[in-house]
Amino acid sequence: MSVAVRSQLELEIEHIDEMLDANMTFPARWYSDPDVYAFEREHIFARSWQLVGTIDQVAEPGSVMIGNVAHTPIVVTRDLDGELHGFINVCRHRAYPVAQENGCRKTLQCQYHAWTYELDGRLRKAPGSDRSDALNPDDFGLLPVSVDTWDRFVFVNPDPEAGTMAESYPEFATLAKERGLSFDDYVFYADYEYDVPSNWKVWAENATECYHCATIHTHSFADAFDVSKAGYEYVNTGRLLGQFTRFNAKAQTFKGSAETTTEDFRFIFMYPSTFFAQDDLVAFPGVITPTGPETCSFRASMYVRKGAGEEEVAAWAEMYNQTLLEDAEAVRLQQPGLSSGMVPHGRLMPSRESAILSFHRLVVDSMREGLRG
């Protein structure tokens, strides 16, 4: 980051608290500026937990799973002794990936020059190094990342010194248990992928409030659930942003059961970019991946309750797909206004957008830490 860019960001950060206290949004340029985006990649996504897959994918010794945390390629392995590991998926020779697909194998091997690694990351063989180009294999193992799990899901943090998931989200286990968030009785249904034409923060903000639901999701989410101010609950705690509500008693199409004992819709967003959403029929993790200053991608892996009827499952999964497509269109229309720079700030409604204010403060905390580093 250049001195000029850093100085501008430091100046904005210096005054951001008073802006947030006045319920103003971030500066509009933070949603399109390449330098801000580069700073976030380094100081938010390279230091945060993000879901990359399921334990089933690395259940057996020798299992290998690849993924990405923002711009960082990741490989997760289960070594032959059964221990779980995570690494930057980059050969220490010339940056070629050491794994290009999920599978089961005894070693990881770069297909460029055949450097070979054990599943615990140790360099096993570098062709030619036993002759004129001797090297110490202890100095060129794969670079480790932090790995942790919750329920059936595997999370990765590119920071090898990161605290555990429980340390990063100490409120999560209790909140999930209290609100009935669990995948125990659900089976995988289908993956849904979305290319989103907006900055990742726009998509995160959209996901963490339902102020827009009555107008944008009239025949999808807002038909299924109570999205009224009185019926919709926000719980913002630590690095978590929660949303909870009941089925819509006046639903025209998506009629839920009136006999449940927990919130019918439960949602917990884990800063900066992973969330879990669930109702009594469908549950899914959602992962936001920034792909550029004004673009991101989103993956929702739908699970459905065991024994549910095929037609009902298909209808409710499509309801969520339609909701997400409507969100993608909404943020597509937002992004040009932010990119124009003609409106320097927005004004939030704290009674309906408290989660966005909490999200903003988490982003600012990450930025401050990055500027101090």
9-13, 42-46, 55-59: lowest mean pLDDT where?
9-13
pLDDT band at 42 (very low <50, low <70, confident <90, very high): very high
Query: Which residues lie across from 317 on neighbouring strands?
Result: none
Per-residue pLDDT reduced to its tens digit, 273-310: 999 999 999 999 999 999 999 999 999 999 999 999 99
How much is the average pLDDT of 30-44?
96
For residue 169, give the amino acid letter. Answer: Y
- Residue 171 DSSP one-character state: T
Q: Which of 126, 143, 165 is the last residue of a domain?
A: 165
* Residue 358 counted as domain residue: yes
* Residue 196 counted as domain residue: yes
Average pLDDT of every residue of the chain: 94
Contacts of residue 133, Cβ cutoff 8 Å, sequence gap at least 6:
none
Query: pLDDT at position 257, please?
Result: 63
Q: Which of 165, 182, 206 is the last residue of a domain?
A: 165
| Distance between CA atoms of residues 139 and 10, nearest Å | 37
Looking up residue 260, the CATH number of its domain turns out to be 3.90.380.10
Per-residue pLDDT reduced to its tens digit, 317-352: 999 999 999 999 999 999 999 999 899 999 999 999
Query: pLDDT at position 1, please?
Result: 66
pLDDT band at 248 (very low <50, low <70, confident <90, very high): very high
Do 55 and 153 meet the contact criterion of CB atoms below 8 Å apart?
Answer: yes
| Whether residue 126 sits in one domain with residue 175 | no
131 or 363: which carries more pLDDT confidence?
Answer: 363
How much is the average pLDDT of 11-36?
93
| Whether residue 180 sits in one domain with residue 161 | no
Q: Give the alpha-carbon dihedral of 13, 14, 18, 19, to 10 degrees.
A: -30
Query: pLDDT at position 263, please?
Result: 61
- With 0-12 CB in 10 A as exposed, 13-18 as middle and 19+ as buried, what is 351? exposed
* Residue 371 counted as domain residue: no
| Whether residue 349 sits in one domain with residue 285 | yes
Residue 359 has pLDDT above 80, yes or no: yes
| Whether residue 174 sits in one domain with residue 125 | no
| Whether residue 279 sits in one domain with residue 160 | no
Domain span at residue 278 reads 170-366
| Whether residue 323 sits in one domain with residue 208 | yes
User: What sign does the CA torsion over 327, 332, 335, 336 have?
Assistant: negative
Q: Residue 328: helix, strand or coil by DSSP?
A: helix
| Whether residue 274 sits in one domain with residue 157 | no
| Distance between CA atoms of residues 205 and 207, nearest Å | 5
Query: pLDDT at position 131, please?
Result: 65
| Whether residue 62 sits in one domain with residue 182 | no
How much is the average pLDDT of 144-153?
97
Do 75 and 89 meet the contact criterion of CB atoms below 8 Å apart?
Answer: yes
* Residue 9 counted as domain residue: no
| Whether residue 161 sits in one domain with residue 175 | no
**What is the side-by-side order of every strand in the sheet holding 295-305?**
186-196, 295-305, 282-292, 274-278, 265-270, 240-245, 233-237
For residue 226, give the amino acid letter. Answer: D
Looking up residue 97, the CATH number of its domain turns out to be 2.102.10.10
| Whether residue 265 sits in one domain with residue 311 | yes
| Distance between CA atoms of residues 370 and 373, nearest Å | 5
* pTM score of the predicted model: 0.95
CB atoms under 10 Å from CB of 63, counted, come to: 21
| Whether residue 339 sits in one domain with residue 259 | yes
Query: pLDDT at position 70, please?
Result: 87
* Residue 22 counted as domain residue: no
* Residue 199 counted as domain residue: yes
Residue 251 C-alpha from the chain's centroid? 30
Residue 203 has pLDDT above 70, yes or no: yes
| Whether residue 200 sits in one domain with residue 312 | yes
Do 19 and 334 meet the contact criterion of CB atoms below 8 Å apart?
Answer: no
Query: pLDDT at position 262, please?
Result: 57
Per-residue pLDDT reduced to its tens digit, 58-97: 999 999 999 999 899 999 999 999 999 999 999 999 999 9
* Residue 189 counted as domain residue: yes
Query: pLDDT at position 260, please?
Result: 53
Do 43 and 373 meet the contact criterion of CB atoms below 8 Å apart?
Answer: yes
* Residue 246 counted as domain residue: yes
Do 344 and 10 meet the contact criterion of CB atoms below 8 Å apart?
Answer: no
Q: Which of 141, 165, 189 is the last residue of a domain?
A: 165
Domain count, the chain: 2
Query: pLDDT at position 4, please?
Result: 74
